[in-house]
Structure 1
Amino acid sequence: MTGIHTRHWPGDSDRPALALHCMLASGSYWGAIAKRLEQRVDLHSFDMPGHGRSDDWQPKADDPDYHTAVTRMAASFINRPLDLIGHSMGATVALRIAVAAPEAVRSLTLIEPVLFAAAADTQQEARDREMGHLIAKGEMEQATRLFLATWGAQPYDKLPAAMQRQMCDRIGLVHSAGETLSHDHANLLRPGGLEAIDAPVLFISGERSPAVVHGIADALAARLPDVGRATVPAAGHMLPITHPDEVAGLVALNLDRA
């Protein structure tokens, strides 16, 4: 994986785990979760292309779309069944792996997977349209403001200038990946796909998160054979960063179920 920055928090070598971060962030925030898991798992992560310390996303004409590329990167970490943890976009990658290769997953923890195709939501559809309109006009700062107003831990104006610039540079990736998530181009919702996941699955949501994430969890959970649900009080979409104690405790519960 040339140009991809990997991260590792050592733990039980018999319990490999992989954690996948959200858009406009990096794998670094899993460090707080790993610390609270107290080496129960041997946790790896990586910074998606264009994020954190990884190189920019510069696909060639014959390269796969962004979501597919990240999924292949994640799959390259798997050489035996492991505990898979994902947040937001990362959770949809984790789910894609579990649908494609259920035998590779020991447990699956999904923190607000943004598979918008699973649950129609007029507010989210309006956000997608506005985002696309702003990006088409080259108004990246306004597009970033719009995104963070719904999905960020802090408003745009409260972020350091360097972080603002980084996010504006990446916002096109968010929009392009969002197209895949809104139309299920990866076919995650195909008949029998979710039903074949026999590992214990846990959905973690923030109480204050957008309504669409709760609708997505409802729709996906209804099709899974072994599923749990948890809502973190007073939390929003960035709960692995804002509420690491609660998130780590819930991850640990799902590890125990496996």
Structure 2
Amino acid sequence: MTAQPGFTPHVSTLGSGPRRVLALHCTLAFGGAWAGIARQLGDSVTLVAPDMPSHGKSADWDGVSDFSDTVYAASLGVMDAEPMDVIGHSFGAATALRIAVAHPERVRSLTMFEPVFFAVAQEDDPQSMVSHNQHAAPFFEAMEQGDSAVGARAFNRMWSGAGKWDSLPERARAAMVRAIHVVPGTHGFLFDDTEGLLRPGVLEAVRIPTAVMRGEHALPVIIATNDGLARRLGNAENLVIEGAGHMGPITHARAVADHIAAVMARG
């Protein structure tokens, strides 16, 4: 593991209930984005929500260490000694999966909303990856040209459906531009399965109560990824949130939280 030396994330604590939940945000967001979910889950839980490097109030990624390893190590570092429920969104969901595989004894239940662990789609449905790469071409082109602002705008359009870039608050745009350089640093883990999660029997051995969730309007690559994970994991439900897209934990917090509560009850 080549995590960033000395990196300690800023952590938002949402709620004050007895049941402790690790909440891992998506790329270009921050830990506080889980506030809506925390409100819906009510006073029985406390969400521990770290900011990834270059996100929120955390220090920047150094660009040299492995970004995925840094997020993984930082997430483990804020977990309690006792088992926690773990929820994640997008890249945060892929990190949650990695934690569940490596440390099942620390995870009471696992909820993943649209995990971007695309190695599954590459193996199960290569055509969905062709579609993804075409869809993502403007982002990749901008990053190759070193244009972070255009790259952040393209990435935001692809995943959030948030409308015109110029309509977003300047603070939100600046935060996305600051964070966008981390995305290429996730490629090995997400696309090439550098952690070996798809080796025979690895995911099948995960018996933690799990929900694999996506929006009704998910991209084909997400559908292939979720379906593949649900087939492989040993104790998983495959769920669809009506009317939602990739940002379902924010736009459809009530429906997502209801499913989180259900899988937590199984744990």
CA distance in 2, matches of 1:213, 1:151: 11
**Kept after mapping to 2: 8 A contact 1:153/1:242:** no
- Report how many aligned residue pairs link the two structures: 254
TM-score (norm 2): 0.89
Residue 98 (structure 1) aligned to one of 97, 100, 105: 100
Q: CA deviation at 1:205?
A: 0.6
TM-score (norm 1): 0.92
SS at 1:119 equivalent: helix
2:40 aligned with 1:36: yes
Q: 1:178 to 1:238 in 2, by over 3 A?
A: farther
Q: Which residue of 1 aligns with 2:153?
A: 145
Q: Which residue of 2 aligns with 1:7?
A: 12
CA distance in 1, matches of 2:8, 2:234: 38
**Residue deviations 1:71-102, cap 9 Å, x none?**
01111123121100000000000000111111
**Kept after mapping to 2: 8 A contact 1:16/1:43:** yes
SS at 2:43 equivalent: coil
Q: Which residue of 2 aligns with 1:174?
A: 183
Q: 1:175 to 1:144 in 2, by over 3 A?
A: same
CA distance in 1, matches of 2:110, 2:8: 27
CA distance in 1, matches of 2:78, 2:201: 25
**Residue deviations 1:156-184, cap 9 Å, x none?**
23212232232123211123214431111
CA distance in 1, matches of 2:33, 2:139: 26
CA distance in 1, matches of 2:220, 2:177: 25
**Kept after mapping to 2: 8 A contact 1:102/1:196:** no
Q: CA deviation at 1:194?
A: 0.8
2:27 aligned with 1:27: no
Structure 2: gaps spanning 5 or more residues: 1-5, 123-128
CA distance in 2, matches of 1:138, 1:246: 39
CA distance in 1, matches of 2:135, 2:210: 29
What percentage of aligned pairs have identical amino acids? Answer: 37
The RMSD of aligned alpha carbons is 1.8
The 5 A counterparts of 1:79-228 are 79-120=81-122, 121-128=129-136, 130-155=138-163, 156-228=165-237
Q: Which residue of 1 aligns with 2:72?
A: 71
